[in-house]
Amino acid sequence: MVLFLMTRSDRSFPVGPRVVAVGVAFAALLLSVPFAGAAPSSSDVQNAHEASIAAEQRLNQIQAEINTIQVRLSSAIMKVDQAEADLEQVVAQIDATKSRIARAQARYDAIREQLNARAAQAFMSGPGSDLEIVLGASSLDDLSDRLEFVDAVAQSDADLAQEVANLQAALQVEEQNLRQLRTKQRAQVIAVRAQRDSILNDLARVSQLRDAAAKTVTDTLEKYQRLRKDRADYLASLAAQTSTSPPHTSVSMPPGFNNPLEVCPVDDPRLFGDGFGAPRYAGGFHLHAGNDILSNYGTPIRAPFDGVAQRAYNTLGGYSEYVYGASGYVYNAHLDHYSANSDGPVQAGDIIGYVGDTGDAIGTPHDHFEWHPNSVPANWPASYYGYSVVGSAVNPYPVLVDVCG
């Protein structure tokens, strides 16, 4: 896109020679600005922009992989929590088994000690001890009591011996259970460690992906932003070269016409020309239906009158903004981003967005401004290219000169 600086003094100049003359004048303007070999061209910015698009796609891929890993990590953490709970249960079972073994062992040792004492007593008493107890009875009742005592002692010894056997068998079972529990514990510890290793590997992969994303931003997206800024600075230098030129020549509007624009759509610094009706080829041949107001990235774009703002988007205009008022509407294209007032009621002067280069304006930040009145004013001045109306758009140059200077 080329912005021409034009006045109204040569409207009778033929269209064909006019284009040639303007081209020569613009070339002279470019030659008057020092390049120093550092100003990026629009193709440089375009190439960087394409690289940034590829970088953003790579970032999306990285984010998708990170999301997949995060899902896997969530599942792994749940498994680890369950495994640790199972492991704690096994540890509790091991502790309980050890306690039972300890109690059984103590009981076993106590009974063995009693049996050993009985055996020692029986050995010292000799084989006739029980017979002597019976023969020493003084009566039948005494004999009966002595026989019951002998039977009780014998039964007590037998019960102790049986309890020893039972405890020994129980100890063997508990020891087997303990060995099995410890085997299960080792397997669960291995499983938990494997899960934790998997988690650590995934976390390391996430860190690698984030490093790759940071490098992508540094190497590609920041380069694009830098080139865009350099290009904007260069274009600003062009504007500075022309800042000492006379202001736009006033354009006579039809008698009785009241300009619906109350404020200039773009803040200073700005530069615009009478490019309404110029041929355009992006998206197919068409006539330029507005004026391009050149400015820096981020310069505020304002509602020119009271009305309702509405966001829009298309491939040629990029981020765009309509403002509908009582006498018609205006259209702003190539915004860098919107403002908080970009969708809803606005008053004249409210910021609705910021100058950018979205759509087909890559590398050349400007506001493509169109004016669509409800009815076309009679005898409206034609543009430098000889057009007053293109579609429903009316040449906005006269009203812009009136409010922007």
What are the pLDDT digits (tens) for 226-237? 777 776 776 666
CA distances from 195 to 87, 206, 353 (A): 14, 16, 51
Q: What's the number of CA atoms in the CB half-sphere (13 Å) around residue 312?
A: 16
Cis bond before residue 269 (omega within 30° of 0): yes
Pairing of strands 300-302, 318-325: unpaired
Question: What is the pLDDT, as a whole number, of residue 234?
Answer: 66
307 vs 177: CA distance, rounded Å:
84
DSSP 204-223: HHHHHHHHHHHHHIIIIIHH
Name residue, tokens 């309702």. Answer: 308
pLDDT tens per residue, range 243-283: 444 456 778 888 889 999 999 999 988 888 888 998 887 77
Rounded CA separation 94/102 (Å): 12
Q: What torsion do the CA atoms of 267, 270, 273, 275 make, to the nearest 10 degrees?
A: -70
Q: What is the reported pLDDT for 38?
A: 46
As a whole number of angstroms, the distance between CA 356 and CA 339 comes to 13
- The pLDDT > 70 percentage for the chain reads 68
In the numeric block, the tokens 């694009």 are attached to: 224
Res 290: pLDDT: 95
Record the tokens describing residue 277, joined without a space.
């009706």
pLDDT of residue 372: 98
More confident residue, 127 or 303: 303
Task: Tell me how far apart the alpha carbons of residues 238 and 86 are, in angstroms, rounded to a whole number.
Answer: 74
Residue that wins the pLDDT comparison between 26 and 331 = 331
What pLDDT shows up at residue 3? 40
User: Per the confidence metrics, is the pTM higher than 0.85?
Assistant: no
Q: Choose among 17, 36, 20: nearest CA to 28.
A: 20
Q: What is the mean pLDDT of residues 124-136?
A: 51
DSSP 394: E
**H/E stretch holding 352:** strand 351-355
**CB-CB neighbours of 306 under 10 Å:** 15
**DSSP run (H or E) holding 345:** strand 344-346
Whether 112 and 162 have beta carbons less than 8 Å apart is answered as: no
pLDDT digits (tens, 9 = 90+) for 14-65: 333 333 333 333 333 333 333 334 456 656 767 777 777 787 788 788 888 8
Q: Under a CB-based contact definition with an 8 Å cutoff, are residues 238 and 324 in contact? A: no
Q: Which residues, at least 6 apart from 35, have a Cβ–Cβ distance to it below 8 Å?
A: none
What is the Cα–Cα distance from 39 to 220, expressed in whole angstroms? 18
Cβ neighbour number for residue 6 with a 10 Å cutoff: 21
